[in-house]
Amino acid sequence: VYTAGIVADDPSADASGQTRQILAKIDQYLAEAGSDKTKILTATIWLADMKDFPAMNSMWDPWVPPGATAARACIESKLATPAYKVEIRVVAAR
């Protein structure tokens, strides 16, 4: 299962709020594709500012099931819209 970069529906939220929204969307997309977060193989996370890493990670770490940690890259990058603080793409098995 390949997702495009996923962003928050409400970009007025802070980095943790945006991450929470994105992770919920990932759960939904994976379920629709017959997969789940225990089957994520890789994740790419873009942050508009690396100072938001702790806020993003505070949502990511509890979301990842123990023993199912995917290979992950986290990159600082300008995102498509200045209001976006976080964008995440995952690849998962089915």
pTM: 0.96
Cβ neighbours of 18 (radius 10 Å): 28
The H or E element that residue 46 is part of is: strand 40-47
Residue 69: partners with Cβ closer than 8 Å, 6 or more residues away:
none
pLDDT in tens, 75-85: 999 999 999 99
pLDDT in tens, 28-82: 999 999 999 999 999 999 999 999 999 999 999 999 999 999 999 999 999 999 9
For the chain, state the CA radius of gyration: 12
Q: What pLDDT sits at residue 59?
A: 98
